[in-house]
Structures are given as structure tokens and as C-alpha cells.
Amino acid sequence: MRNIPPKVLKTFERIKKKEPSHIELKIIKNNYYVYRATSEWDKERKKVRKITEYIGSIDHGGIFRKKRERSRIQESEREVFEYGNGALAHHMIKDLEGLLAKNTPYCNELIATAIIKAIDPKPLRLFASRWEKLYLSKLIDVSLTPKHLSSVLSSTGRDVHIWYDLFSKLATKEDILLYDLTSVFTYSKNIKLAERGYNADHEYIDQIGVIMAFSSITKLPVGVDVFYGSMKDITTVRDFIERFPKKDIGFIFDRGFSSYGLLNDLREDGIHYIVPLRKNSTLIDLRWMRWKGSFLYRGRPIRWGTKGTEYGTLFAFEDPLLKGEEEQALLRKVEANKLTMAMFEQKRRLAGVICLVSDMDKDGIDMFDMYKGREDVELAFDAMKNRLESDKTYLRSDEAVRGYFLATFLAMRIYFKILKSLREKGLTNKISVEEVLFELSKVTKIVEKSGREYFAKIPKRARRMCSLFPEVLPMG
């Protein structure tokens, strides 16, 4: 081993002592390579055949570098990304990018989180992996590691005033907001917001209250917040109104918000309201009702009338078909000895009757239609809990929980914008939002290492979905 640098030779001798097999040092173009040498009997040639295996190299400074093991999985020279679903979701949230960028340094993280939740809800630990599958990940440089994402959500949840400023910009002038409260479970013992209370199924459990405000004009969510699980519906409204900068709005509630004290507060603040009354409300007395006429609502005849009260106009709506159904239900209770005939006669007076009280001067059909718009906020809660899988949380701080539901709110804006587009095209009975996003996930883009990009062949059904959103996906 003449003319070999001392450092190279010293390293080779050290490897030789550790290596149980015979090793050799080869010099190729003034570089030093280490090989393991073995032998085997060659049956055809009937002699011993030498076999060498490369195990590493030694540089001129005596540093040994092991052979890099090749992966058994052959990697392609190109990458395939989901394109259509991400492009549509991103388009549907673009109207908020400017507002988010002004209010938070985590604009991109929140947008990416909302897009993932809208497309394919996953646990937070999988967000980064899911994001990498989207072509958007090449356009928006963002970190979605669990640690960073938890920090983002906590920071987002602390800036409550910033978010209410955003909400006020999403509500149009003189908007009527559909407002409701639901509850979600938490599996963390560190959440102060989690308190024992009754949920919709009358279960007394640890829960967090989540409210939502939904615009009756734009048909989109315009606000969300979380409250202590034991807080009453009416208390959350007062807190929401106090934080909400815009006051030239109105609210449509459900029966859980029926309170004369709340009505007085709203009247004093000049805030419009539509509140359904419970059947036992003292304001309901059909003997003095002035029945004004009838209208058809979704093919069903409805009789309506009004009566003045100290809290505004009382609107009564009588549905003959619903009246028959409710009377039958009451009679079944009589038959089961759960109701007396005297109680039946008393309750049947309001069977099939819905009563609302409002400070607004509206025609009967307009008032009824606005109230029935509550189905949108119920649909929103259903989408939030089931489609976006936000019916429970494992987060460990109040701030992170609030931030999580603000991100969910952004995802719901995406969901309902797609739904709104389907409604305008009259397709909601044929195509769901989930179906749109699933089919568009098949619109993929291929990116080669050379930098060349092109679309893979688009399936027929996916191409049809593209045609529904030509402003986003002009596939021809």
C-alpha cells in the first residue's frame, strides 16, 4: 500500500480490525473505496470465484462514509397532486384572504386548515400529510406540523375582538342573523369551558357550548364562538351582541331563546328580532287573533293572522296538515293514559299552530319564510358536527378550542359557498357538496422533476363537476 495517505491508511486499518470478513482498499482515479471480499465455488467453471461488495469510501482526510442503502421502493421521476378539490376550496375562501392577512400573521395556516377540513377532515396530527397531497401545497408555503398548528390555534383563539371585527364585515347591512347554540364533547380535563349541562338529547354531561350566526341574506355563516357548557342560550346572545361591532342587524331565534327580558333588551338596543313562542306563552290567545288570509308554503296551505302585544306583533300560522298530525299524537297519549281528555282539549287548541313575536312590519308569508330559514343554521350545525367532524375535541386549552372552531367556521364558509352554488343551479337534490369535492379530487396535476406540469386524464364525472364551476376550473 504505497503512496496511500497516512490518514486514509489509518482509517482503513481501523475498519479492518472491526470487520469480520476480509476487506480490500481499491484506488480508482485517486479516490479510495473499501470492498468486502468473499468467494464461492463456481460449478460451471469448477473453480473458486471471488465476489466483492462495495461498503464505503474514505476521503483524503481519513473520513469513512458508508455506502448509502438504496430504497427497495422505486421512486417515480414525477409527482401527482390532487388539483380540482383544492382549487375549488381555495376559490371559495379567497374573499377572506385580505381580511385575514390584515388581522392575523397566521393567514396561510388558517386557510390551509380550513381547506383540509372542508375537503377531507382529519385529526390535526395528519394535516401536514393531507396538505402535501394537494397541488396547493406548491403554491402556499405553510407549516402544518402538530406543534405549530396547536400554537396557531391557541394564538388565534386569544384574539377574540379581531374575529368579531371580521364577523361584522361578513354581515350585510340590516342583515337578519339566524342564531343558535349547540354543544360538543371534550376529552380533555384541562378545558375550563367544559362544564356539565344538558345537551339536545337531555344528557347531563361535560360539554362546550358553540354558537353560530348565519346570514339569512347571503345564506352563509357569519359568526361563531364558544362558551361555557352550562351557559344558558339567552346569556350567550347578550355576550355575542356586546362583542359584535355592527348593531344594525336582527336575529331569528328558536324557542330556547324565548324570554321577555331578552325582547326588552333587543328593543332598547334597536335590534330587530323574530322569536318563536312556547305553547304555554301568555301572549298566545287565538280568541283575539285577526286571521288575514292564507298562502302556500312548499305546497302546504297555511292560514295566518296577527295580534298586537307589548313586545311587538304576534304572528300566528296554522298548518291544517300539521294540526291533524299533532292531534293524532295527543290522542295516542290519551289512549296510553299519559294525558287526560281535559288536557287533550286544552292542548288541541294550539295543535298545528306556530306563533312568532317580532318588532318588524312584515307580511305573513315573508315572516314565515324568514323563520323557516332556520333550517339553514340547523344544516350548518349538522355539517359542522358530521361532515367536518367537529362534534368533539381533544385540544388542551380554551384558546386552542376557540381557535379550532374559528378554523372550522372558515371551512363552513367553503362548504356553504359550494352548497349555495348548487342551490342556484337547482342541483341540491342530485349532487351533494361531498360528492363535488370527491369527484374533483380526481382532477390531478402531474409535476415532473424537470419542472414540466400537466393534467392527468380527467374522468368523465369529474369533468362534469368542473363544468359546474367554470370560473375556477376551465377545463374546456
Residue spans of the domains in the chain: they are 6-66, 80-155+426-468, 159-396
- Could you give the CA distance from residue 82 to residue 85 in angstroms, rounded to a whole number? 7
Cβ proximity of 196 and 229 under 8 Å: yes
Cβ proximity of 387 and 434 under 8 Å: yes
Order of all β-strands in the sheet with 453-455: 78-82, 444-448, 453-455
pLDDT of residue 285: 83
296-314 tens-digit pLDDT: 988 899 999 999 998 999 9
* CA pseudo-torsion sign 261, 264, 269, 271: positive
What confidence category does residue 107 fall into, taking pLDDT thresholds of 50, 70 and 90? very high
Tell me: pLDDT of 424 over 70: yes
Tell me: pLDDT of 241 over 90: no
> Residues 51-60: what's their mean pLDDT?
86
- Specify the pairing of strand 176-186 against strand 392-393: parallel
Q: Cell numbers for 207, please give them.
A: 360539554
**296 bridge partner residues:** 301
Question: Looking at 69-83, 306-320, 336-350, which range is the least confident one?
Answer: 69-83
Q: Which CATH architecture has domain 159-396?
A: Alpha-Beta Complex (3.90)
Helical residues (DSSP H) of 49-126, grouped into ranges:
84-103, 107-119
Residues, the chain: 476
- Could you give the CA distance from residue 405 to residue 167 in angstroms, rounded to a whole number? 14
388-399 tens-digit pLDDT: 655 555 566 788
- Could you give the CA distance from residue 239 to residue 227 in angstroms, rounded to a whole number? 10
- Could you give the CA distance from residue 225 to residue 160 in angstroms, rounded to a whole number? 9
Tell me: pLDDT of 410 over 90: yes
Tell me: pLDDT of 200 over 80: no
Tell me: pLDDT of 344 over 70: yes
**Average pLDDT in the chain:** 85
CA-based end-to-end distance of the chain: 70
Q: Cell numbers for 77, please give them.
A: 421521476
- Supply the DSSP symbol for 383: I
- Could you give the CA distance from residue 215 to residue 209 in angstroms, rounded to a whole number? 20
Taking Cα atoms as reference points, which of 157, 74, 70 lies closest to residue 113? 157
Q: If DSSP codes are grouped into helix, strand and coil, which group holds residue 205?
A: strand
Taking Cα atoms as reference points, which of 198, 205, 108 lies closest to residue 407? 108
Q: If DSSP codes are grouped into helix, strand and coil, which group holds residue 124?
A: helix
Could you give the C-alpha distances from 323 to 293, 328, 340, in angstroms and in order?
Answer: 17, 9, 19
What confidence category does residue 469 fall into, taking pLDDT thresholds of 50, 70 and 90? very high
- Supply the DSSP symbol for 391: S
Please give the helix or strand (H or E) that residue 393 lies within, else none.
Answer: strand 392-393
Q: In sequence order, what E strands does 246-311 have?
A: 250-252, 272-276, 290-297, 300-309
> Residues 62-78: what's their mean pLDDT?
69
What confidence category does residue 74 fall into, taking pLDDT thresholds of 50, 70 and 90? low
Q: Cell numbers for 370, please give them.
A: 324568514
